[in-house]
Structure 1
Amino acid sequence: MKFTRKANAQWQGKGMEGKGTISTQSTTLDKAQLSFKTRFAEGVGTNPEELIAAAHSGCFTMQLSFLLSELNYVPTDLSTEAVLTFEDGTITKIHLELKGDVPGITNEEFQNTALKAKQICPVSKVLNAEITLTATLA
């Protein structure tokens, strides 16, 4: 299976004083606020790191549900919090905190399946992806 997804960010002004928006193809995010404050302090809006954490928790949890289904388990509840650490201009780690209710599964099988989901989740592997750029100056 191959597909593409799009998102768009717009920015006006200098880094600290400027402001912008971010939108997704699905319009789940539609001109969501983006600013220095929402990235490095508190404020209404989102930021790239929060979006990466959201994408990682969603992708991992969905991947785990597929793997559990392959093993004939039906999870009652899977909840994952992704805690992203940003230090000195770099995303240094993401910790996935998983809580699951999966009737009939042993703890060992749950742990092994969760580890496999972490390893094969597309977002877990994303930073190893090819990154290309086209830049056009107006």
Structure 2
Amino acid sequence: MKFTRKAQAQWKGSGKEGKGTLSTASGVLDKTPHSFHTRFEDGEKGTNPEELVGAAHAGCFAMQLSFLLGEDGFTPKSLDIDATVTFEDGEVTVINLDLEGDIPDIDAEQFQQIAHKAKEVCPISKLLKADIQLKVSLKK
């Protein structure tokens, strides 16, 4: 399967004082604001690249994990993933994926193995050079 997706960014002004917008072809992001303040400070409404990478990684990982669980005959009731992206000294250094799954009839060891395989084969994981750490817990 091959496909492409499109996104658009616009920036006006200097790095620190300027402002920009991000849009996606799907329309989910439509001139969503981003700026120095939304990226490096808190308080101003808008997004930033690191938060978007975290959302993309969490979403891709969840879908990949769901496919792998299905291959082994499991259907998750829910997979909840928190992605924490660490930006340090001009680069994304670590992404922590904190996974909690509610999957009937799976044991914790099997869930761990499938989750770690999903982390390795997830297309977004493969794209990133950051240290990707995974914490797995299974609802009882």
TM over 0.5: yes
Deviating above 4 A after TM superposition, structure 1's stretches of 4 or more consecutive aligned residues are: none
User: 1:78 and 1:90 mapped to 2: Cα distance?
Assistant: 28
User: Which residue matches 1:71?
Assistant: 72
Partner of 2:35: 35
* 1:1-138 equivalent positions in 2, closer than 5 A: 1-42=1-42, 43-127=44-128
Residue aligning to 2:138: none
Q: Match for residue 136 of structure 2? A: none
The sequence identity of aligned pairs, in percent, is 60
The one-letter code sitting in structure 2 at the alignment partner of 1:9 is A
Tell me the CA shift for residue 127 of structure 1.
Answer: 3.2
Q: Could you tell me how far apart the structure 2 residues matched to 1:126 and 1:87 are? A: 19
Shift in Å at residue 116 of structure 1?
0.3
Please list every run of 5 or more consecutive structure 1 residues that lacks an aligned counterpart in the other structure: 129-138
Q: Deviations over 1:24-51 (max 9, x none)?
A: 1111000000100000001100000000
Deviations 1:41-81 (A, max 9, x none): 01100000000000000000110000011111110110000
- Distance (whole Å) between structure 2 residues aligned to residue 64 and residue 22 of structure 1: 28
Q: Which amino acid aligns with 1:89?
A: G
Unaligned residue ranges in structure 2 (runs of 5+): 130-140
Tell me the TM-score normalised to structure 1 length. Answer: 0.91
Q: Give the number of the structure whose residues are more often strand, by fraction.
A: 2
Highest relative contact order (Cα 8 Å, sep 6+), 1 or 2?
Answer: 2
TM-score norm. by structure 2 comes to: 0.90
Task: Give distance in 2, aligned partners of 1:59 and 1:111.
Answer: 18
